[in-house]
Amino acid sequence: MLDFYSIESLLTPEQRAIRDAVREFVDGEILPNVRGWWDRHEFPAAIKDQFGAIGLFGPTLPQEYGCAGIDNIAYGLINYELERGDSGLRSFASVQGALVMYPFFAYGSEDQRRKYLPDLAAGRLIGCFGLTESDGGSDPGAMRTRARRDGDGWILSGSKTWITNSPIADIAIVWAKDDEGVVRGFIVPTDATGYSAPTIESKMSLRASSTGEIVLQDCRVGHEALLPDSGGLRSPLGCLTQARYGISWGALGALEAVYTCARDYAATRTTFGKPIAGRQLVQDKLVRMLTDHTLGLLMSYQLGRLKDENKMTFAQVSMAKRNNVRVALNGARLAREILGGNGITTEYPVIRHLLNLETVDTYEGTHDIQTLIIGREITGLGALE
Ligand SMILES: Cc1cc2nc3c(=O)[nH]c(=O)nc-3n(C[C@H](O)[C@H](O)[C@H](O)COP(=O)(O)OP(=O)(O)OC[C@H]3O[C@@H](n4cnc5c(N)ncnc54)[C@H](O)[C@@H]3O)c2cc1C
């Protein structure tokens, strides 16, 4: 792991062992193949079994539900290593863990947890999280999807867009307003009548991840579909806080990948009789990338400690997501410059990470939305609504 400040020395033996195992998996199974998956816009379906087998889905949730019960720094390191491979594959695991398994854990009944969590943890079931609608993802309170009471069940109607995993999912967590206008979460089997999930094609980002819509045409689900403890926008936003935490670590993995590539390239690329690594302007770019990586890692490490102590606030998470993703994106642009023309081909990982990070900077709350969340926290004045 890129580690200029010896953060390694702060890790427990268990955290190191988990990090090393995932790093080895990424080196052996993802890095040799990811360029082909990305170029072909192909989600590697077999990876769900591998992720399940090594415990990458919802690993902080308790062991009694088939999960690993690890701490949040170990979880952050998993995200870091996965995204060093590819942001799309980290997104696949993040959605499953933070946006599908977490709402079962936080808002589901005990029956729902026991029924679904072990299969989700093992990768036997894949889920997606449907919050965003086409009218504006930044304003989920304006959602139009409705859940109407129908006898002892519900009828869902509406549509969602930009949903990671929706074309490949077995179940969807769909957020809809009930008859009283309260946002509730529903577990929707993707083979339910009236449910479809068309793929979004021609994506130039997260191309190793599957993204689609969710279309609900009078889709009937039973009473047991409701997550009973969900209620209000704070329920889906609570899931986003979990996901943003993992993203803050993941983006630094992508930054390691582009920094390392640019540093190694600069060491061997010679112009005017000298390696470009010996040029001040190139060194400035490398130093900026490494400094940003170091600061981001310290931030996420401390955030993980706060999360383990149940002291992490959503504004702290917003700050880490906002900062770490943007510095990774800026770093990927600098790395692309260092690679010159070679920086635009997928023969090198840089352009793939750069384009992936455009999504990571946007989803789970855009950079500017995170700014407004933090701004409201420090001034007490809301500039978002
Ligand atoms: C590949 C991909 C995967 C995704 N996966 C999922 C998923 O699994 N589930 C899910 O529910 N969603 C998912 N999303 C959706 C994502 O969360 C939204 O794209 C994101 O929240 C932004 O919403 P939007 O695209 O509608 O942009 P908009 O909300 O229309 O925003 C457009 C611009 O306006 C700015 N803006 C908006 N409101 C304000 C304001 N009040 N003040 C200042 N500026 C503002 C934004 O910052 C942004 O720059 C995914 C998106 C992508 C691209």
User: Structure pTM?
Assistant: 0.98
- Residue 66, token pair as written in the block: 């088939």
CA distance to 26, 36, 127, per residue, from 193 (Å): 38, 35, 17
The H or E element containing residue 104 is: helix 102-107
Cβ-contact 329, 357 below 8 angstroms: yes
Sign of CA dihedral 315, 321, 324, 325: negative
pLDDT tens track of the chain, all 385 residues? 999 999 999 999 999 999 999 999 999 999 999 999 999 999 999 999 999 999 999 999 999 999 999 999 999 999 999 999 999 999 999 999 999 999 999 999 999 999 999 999 999 999 999 999 999 899 999 999 999 999 999 999 999 999 999 999 999 999 999 999 999 999 999 999 999 999 999 999 999 999 999 999 999 999 999 999 999 999 999 999 999 999 999 999 999 999 999 999 999 999 999 999 999 999 999 999 999 999 999 999 999 999 999 999 999 999 999 999 999 999 999 999 999 999 999 999 999 999 999 999 999 999 999 999 999 999 999 999 8
Cβ(291) – ligand 1 distance below 6 Å: no
From 133, 224, 364, 377, active-site residue: 364
Give the phi and the psi of residue 214 in degrees, each rounded to 5.
-130, 125
> What's the rounded Cα separation, in Å, for the pair 385 and 191?
37
Place of tokens 């089997």: 189
Sign of CA dihedral 284, 288, 291, 294: negative
Give the phi and the psi of residue 238 in degrees, each rounded to 5.
-65, -35
How many CB atoms are closer than 10 A to CB 97? Answer: 28
What does the pLDDT read at residue 136?
85
Cβ-contact 28, 43 below 8 angstroms: no
Told to judge if 364 belongs to the known catalytic residues of this protein, a careful annotator would answer yes
What does the pLDDT read at residue 29?
98
- Looking at the structure, give the CATH architecture of the domain made up of residues 234-379: Up-down Bundle (1.20)
Best probe residue, ligand 1, of 138, 175, 373 (max atoms within 8 Å of C-beta): 138
What does the pLDDT read at residue 353?
98
Ligand 1 centroid to 363 CA: how many Å?
6
In 3D space, the residue among 356, 347, 364, 335 whose CA is nearest the CA of residue 86 turns out to be: 356
Angle between the N-to-C axes of helices 72-85 and 13-25, in degrees from 0 to 180, rounded to the nearest 10: 20
Cβ(363) – ligand 1 distance below 6 Å: yes
What does the pLDDT read at residue 385?
86
Longest CA–CA span in the chain (Å) reads: 79
Cβ(87) – ligand 1 distance below 6 Å: no
The CATH number for 128-225, chosen from 1.10.1040.10, 2.40.110.10, 3.40.605.10, 3.40.50.720, is 2.40.110.10
Same fold yes or no, 7-126 and 128-225 = no
Domain 7-126 sits in CATH at: 1.10.540.10
Write down the domain spans for the chain.
Answer: 7-126, 128-225, 234-379
SS3 186: strand
